[in-house]
Amino acid sequence: MRMYRVAICENELVQAQFLQKILEEYAQKQEIRFKSEVFESAEVFLFQYAEEKAVDLILLDIQMAEMDGLTMAEKLRAVQDQVKIIFITGLTEHIGDGYRVAASIYLIKPIKKEQLFNVLDRVLKTLPDAIPTIILPTADEQVKITIDSIICAEIVDRELTITTTSGTYKTRLTMKQLNKELNDPAFIAPDRSWLIHCGHIERVRKTAVIMDNGMSIPVSRRNQKTVMQAFIDFHRR
């Protein structure tokens, strides 16, 4: 399932939550996923973007406190010309300003669901195909890994170890946080300490699954049927 990372730069919390709700409805209708995050100021967004640069689309309010949306877009375009920007404004006089920062489109407040749906239809078609990724916070850096490369994750003494096709990482995330980040039915829990990707399962036994890297991972008795069914369903897709 395709996932898009969306930043909502809006200093009115009620408006931001409304936009998130519309995104959720659109994602369900189109059978895609949005990972959205709200930023109440341009400065906070730019600070985080400098660290991760993991955004496909920005819903950007022009009239924000301190740094306005246009100034933020100019700073963003200085380092990144691919991310799509949808400007949100209550004033039509700003519309002409967006062209110099290559805004995809303008939405005039109050925003209606049908309007944003139509805009998303147009904008998402222009985005290149992308492989879903997550950002892992490790002890001394942020690491971007593709979701499909994750073989399994194990929690031991509150430390989460993630094994991928290219290496192993220890992260500060909890298992619950990782599951929320992934938000992917391809991942299942054979027992309380493990999370595995069905695409990397080679064989399923009664008490263990054998992964394609040779790892043998225990399956609790109560999860045996669930693991077997998830494995079958994954390969029937």
The pLDDT tens digits of the residues spanning 131-160 come to 788 888 888 888 889 899 999 999 998 899
pLDDT at 53: 76
Predicted confidence band at 104 (pLDDT cuts at 50, 70, 90)?
low
Region 184-190: mean pLDDT is 93
For residue 106, give Cα distances in angstroms to 9, 65, 119, 122, 219.
Answer: 14, 19, 9, 12, 51
Per the model's pLDDT, the better-predicted residue between 3 and 6 turns out to be 6
Region 154-180: mean pLDDT is 93
For residue 4, give Cα distances in angstroms to 24, 37, 76, 93, 110.
Answer: 12, 11, 18, 30, 24
Alpha carbon of residue 141 to chain centroid: 19
Q: Is 75 exposed, middle or buried (0-12, 13-18, 19+ CB in 10 A)?
A: middle
In the DSSP assignment, the letter for residue 108 is E
Q: By mean pLDDT, which of 8-17, 18-27, 60-69 is the weakest?
A: 60-69
The answer to whether 101 touches 60, Cβ cutoff 8 Å, is no
Region 73-77: mean pLDDT is 84
pLDDT at 202 over 80: yes
pLDDT at 1: 65
Predicted confidence band at 80 (pLDDT cuts at 50, 70, 90)?
low
pLDDT at 95: 53
Q: SS3 of 85, please?
A: strand
Mean pLDDT of the chain, nearest integer: 88
pLDDT at 94: 54
Q: By mean pLDDT, which of 5-19, 53-67, 220-234 is the weakest?
A: 53-67
The answer to whether 218 touches 208, Cβ cutoff 8 Å, is yes
pLDDT at 19 over 60: yes
